[in-house]
Structure 1
Amino acid sequence: MCVPTQKIYCITIITGFLTCDFEDVNLCGYVQDQNDVFDWTRKTGSTGTTNTGPPTDVTYGTGYGNYLYIETSSPRTKGDLARLISTTHTFESNKPSQCWHFYYHMFGVNMGTLNFGYRVNGNNQVLWTRSGDYGDRWIQGVVEISSSQNYEIFLEGIRGDGIRSDISIDEISYVDGKCPGAGECNFENGYCLYYNSLDDEFDWLRGQGSTTSASTGPNTDHTVGDGTGYYMFIETSSPQATGDGARLVSEIFDATSGKCVTFWYHMFGLDIGYLNIYVAEYNGTNEVKSWALYGQQSTDQDLWLSGQLGIVSPFKWIVIFEGIKGSDFRGDIAIDDIVFLDNDCQIQPAIADPANSINSDIICDFEINFCGWKQETAKDDFDWTRTNIETPSLGSGPGSDHTTGNGKKCCICFENLGVRSKLKERLT
């Protein structure tokens, strides 16, 4: 079980055989290689060096859970290597492939390299590698191994160019079969490598059948097409408030000259808010809104709609699916069947392209929130008010908003009473 503390991200993994969370003092049979430079260390809480290493493990998310890490303080020097080796995985002809899952933590300005590979007859082959600072968070790695012989897996931690390069690992497991493609998920067996951000107001949920709210959300998933299949959705009933957001974050992808993200979305309900997709650098900075829809997109509750967007990035990057609650509880938004293709593509539907709206980040109908507009604090005297009722002053103010023309939706205004008649207010 993963319990998030501070800014650690938790992901539900598929548990297979040889699962190891390192709570066992014997390390589940994993051994230190005798032909490396130093050893992995079993640890609880933070490592002994500031600004590197995790504050907690993955399993419990507290200072009491164990994980393994490499201690890179003196006498370690740049390039020193620690290698951990598993017990032998026995080949079975009816199970030629395994998908290995593990968590890693690589935080620190001097960060080195983590390698994951397998060994057959004493020969090592690296299958997966990461180098550099990935921020103060646990991230899940996935590696597929196909071998017609018995093998052991190994993990190598290599010291960087300073003491702030403590690399940590936790929760190693596998399932028989091939791994899904990078970023691919139909949510039938969990969240895959997606996780809920802690920097939002509520979470995406994994659902099956109908959501708990009437007249919104899908009746079935898209993959299976009946009540047994799973999808991800935002539940917009209480205690969620209008404008609250939920963010689902992908794994990290390498720089690309062209990827196409395809997915299915469901936006049925009179109070549907926003579904936004952002592309950001791997550490969450430099977000760019790349796809966005607002409001009900179909009057057929059984209809899933296809969406896609192309991505070009010179940096390591992530995708963020953001659902924002609309004006009331009939605003459940769902997504399913995410796939990443190795080619660029146009945004679909075309109306989801933020560039199709002139100054799309400036336009606002105030139905959900202020759309990023902020009250001026230094150069005015009071604030604009967002409302869906008549203003208190008799013979002044609108009887309804402009967007919908009824008194149930929102506009912004300022109340001009008494001393405020000579004051000014600014919205920027």
Structure 2
Amino acid sequence: MAEDSYFCRYVGLLLGIVLLLNTCADGFLLDGKPPRRYVCNFEHTTCGYNNSVPAHGMEWSRLNVALGHTFLHSDDTYHTHRKGYVMFANGNASTHAGDRVRLQSKPMSFPQGTPLAISFAYIFSEAHTNAVTLSVYIGTHSTRARWITSGHSPSHGTVSPYWHRGCITTTAHDNATVVIFEAKISHSSNNGDLAIDDVMVEEGNVCHHSSQMFTTSPFHMTSSHHVTSTAPPRTNASSVSCNFDLPDICGYHNRQYPGSDNFDWLRHQMKTLSQGTGPNMDHTSGKGYYMYIETSSPRHSGEIARIESPAFTADGHQRLTFWYNAYGTGIGDLKVYLETKGVLGSPVFVESKGTQSSVWQRACVQITKASSDVKVVFEGVVGRDYHGDIAIDDVKLEHGDCQSGVQTTVPTVTLNIVLGHWLSWGSWSSCSSTCGHSTKQRTRKCSSNTCDGGNIQILQCHTSACATNGGWSHWTTWSKCSTSCDIGTISRVRSCTNPAPTSGGAQCVGNRTDTHECSTGPCPTWSHWYDGQCSSSCGNGTMERMRTCSTGTSSDCSGSAQEIIPCTGTECI
């Protein structure tokens, strides 16, 4: 920490940069005034990024590209051969499918509710067996990846061996934002190389690459790329049109308020991470990006993800076209809503059957009623298993009708919002399980096409904890032998506490105590008595006699080694 602080002061004096730093290891806070940015290019420190959740022999490490790693030829900051530093993670012979390691930032201070843009550079090795996946999480307790990509595409080989850009837009939920980069071995091949560089967390809704902040020095800040703290409102219809190739995704954003959905749409390039589902490439060019829902674990059937467009004004003579991909045997639903003045309404498009090929399909929705404050909301619903990835691309809002150009079978919709009333709730379903975490739900129907509010209620069941069978602890060490000589016993014990049986679980099977014979050798014994001479040659007298202990030490045997006894000599004359 002392060296980092000295370095920051030195750079500030040398370049004349005003740096406001909580601590140097917390990352470089460029400019104390809005927009606030935390930038790290790893050239001199890790800026407080540390390993957490280590895997078998796998960790994030700060790597000097000049050392000549087999696949890294330059970092992202300089783009100069054999120059610069990056954060590097790789799989090896000791890692297995599912192993993961996380690189976690220190908390960054942004006021709660501040829109944030997180940008970074990443690169995978060219190896065909590259099996590592990069995921990004926001918050130390988050189980929901906000961004994910893989270093290997089964259908198209490998990603290109060049630096790529990642972008996430979100909102600060507290005053201590934490960003986590996770490298995970994704399948049976344990090979995989991955590096990240030039991480920037800044206020605003638009990602900028951190190299825009630097010129000849990695810490020289320019003022030509300031980002406003809030995105300007998008009210023109053309703002809805988007091919998702740019990181700001045209102002579309995942819904963030509580209860709106369960997970997020992801921006992705080429094949999705699961076999047998999702597109092979984007629709626009085959090389660009699209938005999709990833339905692999930890997703569950019925969970939803919603992404919405910027607001626009409908003039009654427009059509909304988009391309979608619903390929897979476990497809759920793709629904499209035209939310008006905050009322979601009923879906104007539903795809629930899926398709038998990964070819993109075109859809069109006619808008025949004028209205202001309209948003397009795409909703993806998780199906019965992980073969349920749903994707969208090339959304376009334009004047015209759906009957011109390519014919479609999708419905025409009129934006004429007339709120109905909800009918009575149906009966509660059975609990999803008989013990542990369990939920039940009920539904209701609307008297017309549109009602304000939701049609599903989900409650947690008050089920008892699941039974846990008992398990033995480790044995204690052996006791001392019960005797100091001859045959005795030693014992050891264990307890049914690993785990202890709960909620009616079975007790441990087997003995709690283990006993064996022990011996430290035979006990000491006396020899026979050796008599001395009688004190009187005639008549009565006394005699001293003695004996020896078998150990050679009299004190080892019980009793005396000598004694005096009466004796009788010959009869005196």
TM norm structure 1: 0.43
Q: Which has the higher contact order (CA 8 A, sep 6+)?
A: 1
The structure with more radius of gyration: 2
